[in-house]
Amino acid sequence: MPASPHLSFILYSNKHIFFDLDRTLWDFDRNSEAALRQIITEENLIPQVESFERFHKAYERQNAHLWKLYGRGKIKKDELRYERFRSTFQKFKIRDESLVRRVGDAYVEISPRQTGLFPNAIETLKELKSMGFSLHIITNGFQEVQFIKLENCGMHAFFDVIVCSEFIGKNKPDPAIFHYAMKEAGTKAVDSLMIGDDYRIDVAGALQVGMHAIHFDPIGKNKYNYDWMITDLAHLPEMVIRLMR
């Protein structure tokens, strides 16, 4: 016979789940593409970049490369914000610094206001809350935009602690950010679980400090052959129960 809702709440009231935000709850790729399409159309750049698809492919390559550099502390936040567009435009022989600034600023304004979430995100958060879990966020994203995402998508109220890497000066998978988040939440590693889409940053980062971890892999590749993996957020409550007995 399954435990009563009241008993479940008692069982998990001292357990904490830390979520990554981008590509785990908030559908970063879909929302980013929508924002970029709007900006490129409004700037009338399609004739210069041949098609949105060609621009988007070039941008994704440049953006991914620069985010890696940012994660390693090789470049600063403002450099990333504009260089991803500057280097992309250069692929199409566009050298216009005012355009780079306009697009860079517009993207930071428009992108976080998109509201696309992964399927079952809100329903899963509600279920975990009803079970008694305390929910938190640990994100490497820029602080000023992550809070906008959470508010616009109706998720902010679910989370007790929201830790952005730039606030403490350390990015995941640095152990410091996980220790800081657990301290803020008033918990310890044995009672904490991290879920995220990036195995190296979210899962391996959490495991190295003694936390439990679940890999969210919506495509289902599981190239790391990690046992605790889900492809749908709806499967999270059941797996959390198994992992945090």
55-108: per-residue pLDDT in tens?
999 999 999 999 999 888 899 988 999 999 999 999 999 999 999 999 999 999
pLDDT of 166: 87
User: CA 132, 165, 112 angle in degrees (round to 5)?
Assistant: 80
pLDDT of 123: 98
CA dist., res. 120 & res. 58, Å (int): 31
Closest C-alpha to 128, from 228, 1, 2, 18 = 18
Q: Burial of 132 by CB count in 10 Å (0-12 exposed, 13-18 middle, 19+ buried)?
A: middle
Q: Assess whether pLDDT exceeds 80 at residue 11.
A: no
User: 229: which strand partners?
Assistant: 215
User: For residue 86, what are its two tokens?
Assistant: 């500057």
Element (H, E) at 212: strand 212-216
| Mean pLDDT for the stretch of residues 125-142 | 95
Q: What is the mean pLDDT of the chain?
A: 94
Q: Tell me: the pLDDT tens digits for 186-241?
A: 999 999 999 999 999 999 999 999 999 999 999 988 889 999 999 999 999 999 99
pLDDT of 230: 97
pTM (2 decimals)? Answer: 0.92
Backbone angles phi, psi at 122, to 5 degrees: -65, -45
pLDDT of 2: 47
CA dist., res. 113 & res. 72, Å (int): 27
pLDDT of 1: 39
Q: Assess whether pLDDT exceeds 80 at residue 143.
A: yes
What percent of the chain has a predicted confidence (pLDDT) above 70? 96
User: For residue 203, what are its two tokens?
Assistant: 């899962």
Closest C-alpha to 234, from 127, 115, 116 = 127
pLDDT of 8: 57
What amino acid is encoded at 145 in this protein?
V
Where are the alpha helices (H) located in 72-208, listed in sequence order? 77-91, 97-110, 121-130, 143-152, 165-168, 175-185, 204-207
Set out the domains of the chain in order of their start, with CATH numbers. Answer: 5-27+117-243 (3.40.50.1000), 29-113 (1.10.150.240)
Q: Tell me: the pLDDT tens digits for 23-54?
A: 999 999 999 999 999 999 999 999 999 999 99
CA 41: distance to chain centroid? Answer: 26
Q: How far apart are the first and last CA of the chain?
A: 17
CA dist., res. 37 & res. 34, Å (int): 5
Q: Tell me: the pLDDT tens digits for 174-201?
A: 999 999 999 999 999 999 999 999 999 9
